[in-house]
């Protein structure tokens, strides 16, 4: 059928004149209401206005008038209901006509005549706009894409075709299960995974409950079946899913980056025996970056030897000494009390190290180390560093000295949230080992700052220091020694490129007064800023360079 015959075959719309004629006839056929006689009106008003008493025989004419009026109401109510139904039906007809008309008009839209390459270019430019965060429904599982794929697919037919045929739009997503649910699993994930093929997957899977719902379990198994396409995976999963992960197997040919987080288990929960090692990740030839948050107490994991970035606890990693290609290492002290630490681990390529315990330093030899950072809750012998007595402090600084000397490393950056830099043997013995240091970050200790500033005034101490970052403690530093600090900064002005003092934001805006006190330093070129009290010093766990 050609276009001409198709036009002749198109049905004609109903004649509007006939419809309006019928409507006019209907309107004229509506009966007019019948009211009581005027005399009855007058008598009724006189009674209501109390200008005439209600007589006994007035009921003889009032009751018939009421019956006359009420008898007409059903007629009009029926007509009104029928008219409302007719109006709703007309509105439905109109909406359908508008929808179909819009669809037919879209076929002639000028944009459809553009070449497909131009449409794809406009599509790519528009993805960032639709990729803005959107508020989700609280308590319901959600799937979010790096680009708002579902919205883009509803713009027009051409864009829908592009979305469906663009696996890169379906291969980066985050799926969240806020709480256990009994609903049937959503089929959306089973739709997403085929549309994302054959590209590698970048997935963030979050189950926020201590136990998994049936919906989360089914979704997790769907992802496990696609593990050969995992490229960047972040899993926040409860222990039941962790057990499923540990016992699974299969080649992870694309996996490059892994982040794993589990909740803290109950005190009486079952743990795996010390020798229980999962090899789920061992067959991942491209894996380079691994981050383990939280407590891993279901045994350790084995990883391929080529990983270059690792953040975990000692007990979560099997055979740490075999990872000779590591370049960055973040170690947290978790429940490692029963863990048999190796005597010495030499990792020749590690350049950045972050540790939470001196116990870890005693077992490491890192000849290429450049950046050393102590984590916020740095401990020595199981106690927070700030709570150590003088003898324990001396022993801790000796451990650091031994680590630097035995590693034969040339540190260029040191960051510590503790007062270790003020320890006498650190100043006397460790600082001379740090001639290559260019960046120093520490927390000011008012009791010892004069001695430390005097030490830094010597040109032989830290001769290459260029970047200095100092953190004020939360309270009691309104009267820091500005003269001593200024003198030290002046003595090093030739080499210092940047000096920063960070003041914690305090209740009642007390930090504002401290900032005003430090104004002379700011005028001298020191960068004085207010930071949140949770601002981390040095390397953030799991945040690789």
Going by pLDDT thresholds of 50, 70 and 90, the confidence category of residue 419 is confident
Assigned domain for 102 exists: yes
Instruction: Check: CB of residue 524 under 8 Å from CB of residue 499.
Output: no
pLDDT score, position 309: 95
Assigned domain for 173 exists: no
Number of domains in the chain: 2
CB contact set of 233 (below 8 Å; sequence gap of 6+): 201, 202, 203, 204, 205, 255, 257, 258, 259
pLDDT score, position 218: 83
Rounded distance between C-alpha atoms, residue 366 and residue 327, angstroms: 10
Which of residues 305 and 176 earns the better pLDDT score?
305
Q: What is the mean pLDDT of residues 123-142?
A: 50
- pTM for the complete prediction? 0.69
pLDDT score, position 478: 55
Going by pLDDT thresholds of 50, 70 and 90, the confidence category of residue 222 is confident
DSSP code at position 501: E
For residue 470 the two structure tokens come to 């100092």
Going by pLDDT thresholds of 50, 70 and 90, the confidence category of residue 182 is very low
Rounded distance between C-alpha atoms, residue 332 and residue 419, angstroms: 20
> Angle at Cα 276 formed by Cα 270 and Cα 278, nearest 5°?
110
Of 42, 77, 108, the residue at which a domain comes to its end is 108
Going by pLDDT thresholds of 50, 70 and 90, the confidence category of residue 196 is confident
Which of residues 16 and 204 earns the better pLDDT score?
204
Instruction: Check: CB of residue 391 under 8 Å from CB of residue 445.
Output: no
Asked which of 25-29, 62-66, 178-182, 526-530 is least confident by mean pLDDT, the reply is 178-182
Assigned domain for 347 exists: no
Q: What is the mean pLDDT of residues 406-434?
A: 86
Distance between start and end Cα atoms, the chain = 66
The owner of tokens 């590698």 is 200
Q: With 50 as the cut, is the pLDDT of residue 138 above it?
A: no
Assigned domain for 269 exists: no
Candidates 163, 133, 27, 43; CA nearest to 86 is 27
Going by pLDDT thresholds of 50, 70 and 90, the confidence category of residue 148 is low
Q: Which domain holds residue 67?
A: 19-108
pLDDT score, position 446: 66
Of 89, 108, 127, the residue at which a domain comes to its end is 108
Of 108, 134, 152, the residue at which a domain comes to its end is 108
Rounded distance between C-alpha atoms, residue 115 and residue 216, angstroms: 43
pLDDT score, position 404: 92
pLDDT score, position 137: 40
Q: What is the mean pLDDT of residues 504-522?
A: 68
Q: With 80 as the cut, is the pLDDT of residue 72 above it?
A: yes
Give residue 292's Cα distance to chain centre.
17
Which of residues 290 and 112 earns the better pLDDT score?
290
Assigned domain for 524 exists: yes
What percentage of the chain reaches a pLDDT higher than 90?
18
Q: What are the CA-CA distances from residue 8 to residues 100, 101, 105, 338, 355 (Å)?
A: 20, 19, 19, 88, 82
Going by pLDDT thresholds of 50, 70 and 90, the confidence category of residue 130 is very low
Indicate the burial class of 508 (C-beta count within 10 angstroms; 0-12, 13-18, 19 or more). exposed
What percentage of the chain reaches a pLDDT higher than 70?
72
Q: With 70 as the cut, is the pLDDT of residue 3 above it?
A: no
Assigned domain for 166 exists: no
Provide φ and ψ at 148, rounded to 5°.
-75, 75
At 467-483, the pLDDT tens digits run: 888 887 766 555 567 77
3-state secondary structure of 460: coil
Assign residue 372 the CATH number of its domain. Answer: 3.80.10
Assigned domain for 473 exists: yes
pLDDT score, position 328: 96
Assigned domain for 461 exists: yes
pLDDT score, position 349: 95
Q: With 70 as the cut, is the pLDDT of residue 424 above it?
A: yes
pLDDT score, position 135: 44
pLDDT score, position 409: 92
At 335-376, the pLDDT tens digits run: 555 556 667 889 999 999 998 887 788 889 999 999 999 876
Average pLDDT, the chain: 78
Which of residues 152 and 58 earns the better pLDDT score?
58
> Angle at Cα 152 formed by Cα 149 and Cα 158, nearest 5°?
120
């Amino acid at each position: 059928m050609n276009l001409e015959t198709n036009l002749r075959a198109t049905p004609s719309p109903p004649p509007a004149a006939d419809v309006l004629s019928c409507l006019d006839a209907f309107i004229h056929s509506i009966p007019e209401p019948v009211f009581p006689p005027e005399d009855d009106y007058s008598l009724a008003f006189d009674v209501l206005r109390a200008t005439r008493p209600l007589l006994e025989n007035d009921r003889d004419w009032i009751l018939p008038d009421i019956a006359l009026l009420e008898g007409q109401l059903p007629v009009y109510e029926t007509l009104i209901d029928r008219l409302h139904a007719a109006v709703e039906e007309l509105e439905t007809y109109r909406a359908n006509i508008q929808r179909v008309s819009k669809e037919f008009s879209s076929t002639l839209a000028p944009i459809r005549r553009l070449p497909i390459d131009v449409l794809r270019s406009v599509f790519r430019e528009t993805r960032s706009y639709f990729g803005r965060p959107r508020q989700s429904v609280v308590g319901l599982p959600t799937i979010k894409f790096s680009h708002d794929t579902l919205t883009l697919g509803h713009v027009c037919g051409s864009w829908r075709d592009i979305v469906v045929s663009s696996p890169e739009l379906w291969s980066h997503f985050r799926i969240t299960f806020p709480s256990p649910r009994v609903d049937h699993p959503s089929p959306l994930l089973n739709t997403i995974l085929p549309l994302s093929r054959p590209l590698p997957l970048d997935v963030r899977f979050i189950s926020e409950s201590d136990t998994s719902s049936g919906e989360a379990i089914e979704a997790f198994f769907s992802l496990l079946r696609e593990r050969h396409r995992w490229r960047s995976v972040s899993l926040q999963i409860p222990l039941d899913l962790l057990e499923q992960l540990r016992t699974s197997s299969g080649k992870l040919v694309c996996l490059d980056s892994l982040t794993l987080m589990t909740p803290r288990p109950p005190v009486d929960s079952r743990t795996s025996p010390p020798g229980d090692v999962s090899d789920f990740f061992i067959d991942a030839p491209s894996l380079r970056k691994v981050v383990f948050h939280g407590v891993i107490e279901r045994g350790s994991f084995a990883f391929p030897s080529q990983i270059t970035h690792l953040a975990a606890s000692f007990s979560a990693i099997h055979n740490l000494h075999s990872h000779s290609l590591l370049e960055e290492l973040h170690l947290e002290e978790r429940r490692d009390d029963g863990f048999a630490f190796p005597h010495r681990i030499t990792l020749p390529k590690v350049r950045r190290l972050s540790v939470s315990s001196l116990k870890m330093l005693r077992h490491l030899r890192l000849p290429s180390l450049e950046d050393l950072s102590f984590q916020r809750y740095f401990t020595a012998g199981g106690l927070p560093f700030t709570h150590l007595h003088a003898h324990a402090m001396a022993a801790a600084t000796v451990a650091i000295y031994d680590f630097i000397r035995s590693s034969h490393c040339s540190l260029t950056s040191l960051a510590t949230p503790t007062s270790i830099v003020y320890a006498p043997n650190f100043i006397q013995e460790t600082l001379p080992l740090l001639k290559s240091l260019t960046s120093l970050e520490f927390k000011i200790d008012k009791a010892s700052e004069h001695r430390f500033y005097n030490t830094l005034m010597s040109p032989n101490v830290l001769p290459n220091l260029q970047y200095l970052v100092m953190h004020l403690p939360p309270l009691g530093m309104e009267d820091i020694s500005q003269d001593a600090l200024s003198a030290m900064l002046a003595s090093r002005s030739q080499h210092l490129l940047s000096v920063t003092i960070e003041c914690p934001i305090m209740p009642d805006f007390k930090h504002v007064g401290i900032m005003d006190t430090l104004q002379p330093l700011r005028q001298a070129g020191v960068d004085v800023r207010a930071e949140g009290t949770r601002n981390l010093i040095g390397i953030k766990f799991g945040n690789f360079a």
